[in-house]
Each structure stands twice: as C-alpha cells, then as structure tokens.
Amino acid sequence: MQAFAKANDVAKVERPSREEAEAAVRTLIRWAGDDPDREGLRGTPDRVVRSYEEFFAGYGEDPVALLERTFEEIDGYDEMVVLRDIRLESHCEHHMVPIIGKAHVAYLPGKRVVGISKLARVVEVYARRLQIQEKLTAQVANTIQAVLQPRGVAVVIEAGHQCMTTRGVHKPGVTMVTSRMLGAFRDDPRTRQEFLTMIGTPIGRGQD
C-alpha cells in the first residue's frame, strides 16, 4: 500500500506566491491584447487565482486516505456496488481547458465496503488536477483496487473536451469514453456486461 501511495502521489513542486500568480494572470491579459488595469479587469487576477484554488484542489488531497475507513459488517453481501452518473469536472493538461462529463464506478466487495460518497470523492480528487481522461480513469480504478482490495473494479468515464470543441478541430457534441476493468470485470465477460448494461454506456450498447 505504501509503495502504491508513493507511486500514485503527485510531484511535489514549490508553489509561487499568490502575488506571483496574480502577476502571471496580468501578463496573460496583456498577451491577449487587453489592459489589466481597466475597470472590468482590475479584479480578474484575484478571481482567476481563487478559481484555480477550486479547480485544482485535488493536489492538496489524498485519495488513498478517503478510502481507508471501511465497514466489514456486510452480512455476506457480495454483489456489485455501482455508483452511476458522478458529475465530473476536470481540466485538460495540454490546453488547461475544461473536461466535463460523468463517471461510473463499480466494485465487487471482498470482505468490506466503503461509504459511497467516498467513491465520488476519489473521482473528484483526481479530476481536480490537470489531467488526460485515460490517466484519470486508470487512477480512480487503481486506487479503489489497491485500497479496498475487492474482487474487481470497473470505471467508465464519458466526457466532452473543450480543447476540441472550442478550439482546434471545433467538433461540438463529441464525447470521449474510456474504461478501466480490473479483476472480475476484466476476466468475466458476464460481470463486465452486467455492469455496462446497468450504466447504459456506449460501450455496452448493441451487445447481446
């Protein structure tokens, strides 16, 4: 567990001061072609920095710790636990623009379960970092598997990327779907199909 947590941790960087961050925003405003001292923009550096504190709060949280409080009194429950349609807001690490979508998370309990809000919080912690969707999907699944040690974990994320809808190829309405299947969800096609049917994702549509 310690090895996993260390490998899964984000790099420790020396953060600039708030004043330096606000100065960087002022520079970007000037680079965009506007005057950071005009009335409408005077408070923008402060607002952007406060927004970044919220957008990227995941760097200051430990997703492993969220899952460490579990419950063993489950009366033999061994069926699938599924949390569907978890709202997901992240930012593309290549262009720093929003990734908006939803995540579906499932696991097959071994000897213990975790509060369902903790599953949503794990998604949120990883999402509130600079991301690519593939890595985000794997991080959520790998963390749940490592901490809870269930018989299997499945994570599917469906999201729109503004790096391709508002810039570049300008293709609105496109949704990217990624999945990570571990344990029984990878090894047993029936278990995997049950999960995909329950969440009704494009991965599961059109299959018998």
The catalytic position among 161, 162, 194, 207 is: 161
> Is 39 noted as a catalytic residue in this protein?
no
Q: Is 161 a catalytic residue?
A: yes
Per the residue annotation, which of 133, 139, 145, 158 is the catalytic one? 133
Known catalytic membership, residue 207: no
- Please say if 94 is a catalytic residue: yes
73 annotated active-site: no
> Which residue out of 19, 68, 94, 134 is catalytically annotated?
94
The verdict on whether 104 is a catalytic residue reads: no
Which candidate in 61, 89, 95, 162 is catalytic?
Answer: 95
Q: Are 75 and 101 within 8 A, CB to CB?
A: no
Which is catalytic among the residues 89, 92, 193, 194?
92
Closest CA to 159 of 200, 104, 102: 102
Q: Is 93 in the active site?
A: yes
Catalytic residue among 19, 68, 93, 134: 93
Residues with catalytic function: 92-95, 133, 161, 163
